[in-house]
């Protein structure tokens, strides 16, 4: 395969449009085609990006693509992802990976059978602040992780509640930051304004012994995205929106401590995610967020809802 990846985007909702925008301006990719059921949407995206407007995934596959981004409603992930993989296409599929764990495992098995790369779009891993947080933690033992992800209700959401839409992000981040597996969890949820849960309090125990929590809701009038990590000697706080990381250490008997800001480089998370996908396709790096990662985050989220 040549270094330039011929790629298409299937689904032009919020995330799909972002993928189109980034891919059209990212070296190493040729954005070949865009699929959306709405003819006006796909044609507008095609005009803006210079790609072809396609009515179906079959039309996109016929253009001769190496890879595709699936940014469709979750209920369509398995069928469209399977179709692409069977056609010899590498797939980056937006989170959650599928509707059920069984569908996720089927996608993983299919990708392995066809020797195609399957990557899951947990884009928060590529947030420069999260990357800075992980580097700051290094090899220290983590005692606790507390995640806050709140904001107003998003009109784009209609088929799932907050645990599947947002909670899977932080379940994945907790596993990634602690480099450990979730061995116990409990969840409380509440439904106030729709048919799905819009408030969730989730607690976890990791195999390493660390404790973790997620506080997420769609009732807060402003967005907040924060992760606080405690180690034996430090407290490290990360603001995912402002992209800042602060460290508190050298605690004193009189309540004093040393505070410093940790420098964070800037890059667009989605572009970094797509570049990681390209590297995996070319074989220069392993898949950054594997199908197994996506399946495990989904499994924990679904099990949490069953326990709530």
Q: Are residues 199 and 217 in the same domain?
A: yes
pLDDT band at 307 (very low <50, low <70, confident <90, very high): low
In the predicted model, is pLDDT for residue 1 greater than 60? Answer: no
- With cut-offs at 50, 70 and 90, classify the pLDDT of residue 255: confident
Domain final residue, candidates 116, 144, 168: 116
101 and 132 co-located in one domain = no
Per-residue pLDDT, 155 = 76
pLDDT in tens, 108-146: 999 999 999 999 999 999 999 999 999 999 999 999 999
Return the residue matching tokens 């990791």.
206
**Which residue bears the tokens 């693509």?**
65
Task: Give the pLDDT mean for 75-93.
Answer: 98
On whether residue 151 sits in a domain, the answer given is yes
Residue 59 confidence (pLDDT): 98
Residue-range definition of the domain harbouring residue 137: 125-266+301-307
Domain boundary among 116, 145, 167: 116
Give yes or no: residues 208 and 87 share one domain.
no
133 and 228 within one domain:
yes
The reported pTM is 0.94
Domains identified in the chain, total number = 2
């Amino acid at each position: 395969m040549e270094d330039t990846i011929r790629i298409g985007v299937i689904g032009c909702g919020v995330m799909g449009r972002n993928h189109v925008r980034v891919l059209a301006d990212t070296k190493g990719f040729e954005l070949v085609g865009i699929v959306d059921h709405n003819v006006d949407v796909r044609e507008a995206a095609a005009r803006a990006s210079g790609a072809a407007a396609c009515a179906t995934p079959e039309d996109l596959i016929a253009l001769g693509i190496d890879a595709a981004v699936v940014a469709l409603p979750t209920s369509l992930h398995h069928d469209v992802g399977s179709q692409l993989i069977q056609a010899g296409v590498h797939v980056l599929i937006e989170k959650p990976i599928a509707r059920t764990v069984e569908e996720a495992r089927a996608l993983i098995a299919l990708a392995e059978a066809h020797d195609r790369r399957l990557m899951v779009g947990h884009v928060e891993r590529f947030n420069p602040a999260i990357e800075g947080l992980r580097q700051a933690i290094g090899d220290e033992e983590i005692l606790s992780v507390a995640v806050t992800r709140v904001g107003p209700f998003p009109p784009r959401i209609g088929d799932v509640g907050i645990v599947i839409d947002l909670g899977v992000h932080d379940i994945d981040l907790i596993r990634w930051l602690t480099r450990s597996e979730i061995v116990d969890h409990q969840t409380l949820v509440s439904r106030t304004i729709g048919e799905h849960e819009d408030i969730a309090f989730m607690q976890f125990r990791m195999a390493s012994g660390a404790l973790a929590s997620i506080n997420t809701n769609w009732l807060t009038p402003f967005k907040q995205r924060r992760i606080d990590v405690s180690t034996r000697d430090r407290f490290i706080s990360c603001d995912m929106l402002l992209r800042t990381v602060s460290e508190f250490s050298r605690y004193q008997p009189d309540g004093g401590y040393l505070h410093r800001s940790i420098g964070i480089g800037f890059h667009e998370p989605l572009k970094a995610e797509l570049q990681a996908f390209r590297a995996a396709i070319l074989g220069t790096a392993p898949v950054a967020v594997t199908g197994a990662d996506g399946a495990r985050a989904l499994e924990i989220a679904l099990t949490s809802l069953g326990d709530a």
